[in-house]
Amino acid sequence: MVANWRQLAALAGSEAGAVVKADAYGIGIEPAVTALSGAGCRSFFVAHLSEGIRARSVAPEATIYVLNGLLPGRCAVYAEHALSPVLGSRDELAEWSGFRATGAAVRPAALHVDTGMNRLGLQPSEALDLARGHDAVAAAGIGLLMTHFSASEDEADPASERQAADFATIAAAFPGLPASLKNSSGHFLPDCPSYALTRPGYALYGGNPTPGRANPMRQVVGLEARIIQLRSVEAGAQVGYNGRWTAPRRSLLATICLGYADGYPRNASGTDALPGGTALVGGVACPFVGSVSMDLIILDVTDAPSAARGEAVTLLGGPLDLEAVGAGAKTIGYEILTSLGRRYGRRYVGL
């Protein structure tokens, strides 16, 4: 993870922050922030106030931005933990400015301008109106201007070029104010400015920021589970809840102790109609058969000679990267990573 952060910082040529929302994309805020802080990262982005408080506990000097903005009546909690809200509406600006006017000691906030997501942030016209007045921005103590790409992973999508151009106009209206545009995939867009601060997230954790091309990032997360039972079934045997998979031959099946309660999607089920997920058993790719259960998954290990009770099988790692696992579960790697459950035993390497 640290190597990925350093690679992205070198590509950006400016300060690289780190997005550690969603429990650092499932791997744990505290260990992620601890490792990245130790490597020199000084700016972190979370989604929720509670995540910011957790990050602050291990990064006492860092700047920590809360992307989801300011909930009514919570200014004092941001101040208590020295957190910076990302303000995206006039209501938020007014409330934060009023709190600052009381003399409260707060960290600089960020101003979010929506250039194409239609999700959070001021409209560009609203931001330009603020720039002409300056008073509102000064009253809110804005220290960073940002927007968010909607399709930066697709280099051919013209939306990124439009958003970058719109943001350039807005940034020019706020001379001297540090700005942030690039997310993970933005680091690989040609001619995309880095501004003062970039915000890599998914790529830090090994996700591919350039879909359709070789992944330039190192893998960060591995996932294993153990075989708890083996059984042979005859051709025609139906497997799992509702018998959704039928053995086409005499088959050896292995049941592993992991299921959707651990965050592994039920959509990875292997049925007669559609293939599902895959695990590696002694390096051999073995398909999921039948429905993914709450606590268990069944594999067809007929072609895996090393399959044995107690053997660890790989569900994420090596050729089973986040994108491959996501495809097998008919979803995206982001969802696989952020859904990692609480029951896993976690071992952090390098801390």
Q: Any idea which residues carry the catalytic annotation?
A: 21, 241
Q: Where are the alpha helices (DSSP H) in 282-342?
A: 322-328, 333-338
- Hey, what are 129's tokens? 């109106």
- Cα of 324 vs its chain's centroid, Å: 16
Whole-angstrom CA distances from 106 to 1, 23, 81, 96 are: 31, 24, 9, 10
Tokens 């040609």 locate to: 190
Pairing assessment for the beta strands 63-66 and 43-46 based on DSSP bridges: parallel
40, 66 in Cβ contact below 8 A? no
Whole-angstrom CA distances from 171 to 191, 200, 221 are: 16, 20, 37
Helix (H) or strand (E) holding 6, with range, is helix 2-12
Question: Under 8 Å CB-to-CB from 238, ≥6 apart: which residues?
Answer: 244, 245, 246, 247
CA proximity to 145, closest of 117, 116, 169: 169
Number of residues written out for the chain: 351
Q: Dihedral sign, CA of 22, 25, 31, 35?
A: negative
State the Cα–Cα distance between residues 108 and 142, nearest whole angstrom: 5
